[in-house]
């Protein structure tokens, strides 16, 4: 498919993904549910799992239509210095902030749906937001620094429609900022490893620790750690963006 790269394209991906996954959730569970009790029962879990499965299918169809397989799954812009250790830093945050006691007390079937949710969230959201969106932004004249923060902003905005399916609007707005910071961590993982696959895996593990009953204290630690990583990246821009050149405008 031949397209003219533009800043509007990633916003279109965001809107389309939201329509697909929110629409699927509402079709499966039109009466809504309590988002705070998402994985307390299988009935609460299934709609969201089906939603992100649909999101995965959407992402794969778009990648296939545009022929961006290599660009989406591989990354040839490595980071330097301590940023190369960002995958281990993200994994460490996940290991420290997982409530293992609560995880072990979950019903087996509920846990299975939680695992399915983690797998498809990690796959679908990384495919769309660190895959399609990063690639689309790199095909514009934008420098990599702006590719980073715009892709993270779009990932944050993904969480606003959660208000449609039961999340209090105040919490959904807060999720925008928290998710944008978390997106920075997965963006670094993509660049540090040269592949989107480790970001998908770590994203799934990150969300699994939330889905399965993360306590308030652990949630704060996760949010603070994400913010610290963003601040550290700002302070170490020379390790990620010093050699930055605007991407060449091209059609695919």
pLDDT in tens, 75-110: 999 999 999 999 999 999 999 988 888 777 877 888
Query: What is the SS3 assignment for 12-23?
Result: HHHHHHHHHHHH
- Decide if 110 contacts 223 (C-beta within 8 A): no
> pLDDT in tens for each of the 252 residues of the chain?
566 668 899 999 999 999 999 999 989 887 766 566 666 677 778 888 999 999 999 999 999 999 999 999 999 999 999 999 999 999 999 999 888 887 778 778 888 888 999 999 999 999 999 999 999 999 999 999 999 999 999 999 999 888 877 777 887 888 899 999 999 999 999 999 999 999 999 999 999 888 776 567 788 888 899 899 999 988 888 889 875 554 443 444
Closest CA to 124 of 220, 210, 13: 13
- Measured distance CA(72)–CA(120) in Å, rounded: 17
For 155-189, b/e burial (b = at least 16 CB within 10 A) is: bbbbbbbbbebbbeeeebeebbebbbbbbbbbbbb
* Contacts with 134 (C-beta within 8 Å, 6 or more apart), sequence order: 147, 151, 187, 190
Task: Write the CA distances from 13 to 21, 178, 227, integer angstroms.
Answer: 12, 21, 26
The CA-atom distances, in angstroms, between 245 and each of 15, 44, 71, 133 are 29, 46, 17, 18
Tokens describing residue 181: 């910071």
Alpha carbon dihedral 210, 206, 106, 26, in 10-degree steps, equals 60
Other beta carbons within 10 Å of 64: 11
**In this structure, how many other beta carbons lie within 10 angstroms of the beta carbon of residue 118?**
23
Query: How many CB atoms lie under 10 A from the CB of residue 230?
Result: 19
DSSP 3-state assignment of 195? strand
Which of 64, 62, 35 shows the shortest CA–CA distance to 47? 35
105 burial type by CB count under 10 A (0-12 exposed, 13-18 middle, 19+ buried): exposed
């Amino acid at each position: 498919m031949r397209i003219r790269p533009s800043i509007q394209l990633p916003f279109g991906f965001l809107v389309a993904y939201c329509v697909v996954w929110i629409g699927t959730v509402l079709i499966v569970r039109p009466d809504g549910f309590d988002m705070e009790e998402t994985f307390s029962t299988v009935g609460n879990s299934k709609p969201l799992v089906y939603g992100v499965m649909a999101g995965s299918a959407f992402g794969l169809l778009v990648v296939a239509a545009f022929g961006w397989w290599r660009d989406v799954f591989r990354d040839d812009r490595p980071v330097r210095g301590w940023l190369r250790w960002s995958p281990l830093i993200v994994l460490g945050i996940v290991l420290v902030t997982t409530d293992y006691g609560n995880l072990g007390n979950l019903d087996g079937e509920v846990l299975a749906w939680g695992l399915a949710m983690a797998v498809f969230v990690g796959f679908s959201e990384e495919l769309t937001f660190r895959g399609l969106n990063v690639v689309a932004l790199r095909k514009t004249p934008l420098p990599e620094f702006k590719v980073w923060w715009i892709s993270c902003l779009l990932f944050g905005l993904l969480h606003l429609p959660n208000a449609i399916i039961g999340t209090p609007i105040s919490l959904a707005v807060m999720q925008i900022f928290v998710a944008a910071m978390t997106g920075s961590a997965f963006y670094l993982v993509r660049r540090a490893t040269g592949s989107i696959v480790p970001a998908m895996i770590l994203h799934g593990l990150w969300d699994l620790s939330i889905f399965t009953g993360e306590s308030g204290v652990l949630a704060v630690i996760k949010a603070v750690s994400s913010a610290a990583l963003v601040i550290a990246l700002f302070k170490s821009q020379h390790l990620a963006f010093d050699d930055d050149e605007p991407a060449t405008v091209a059609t695919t």
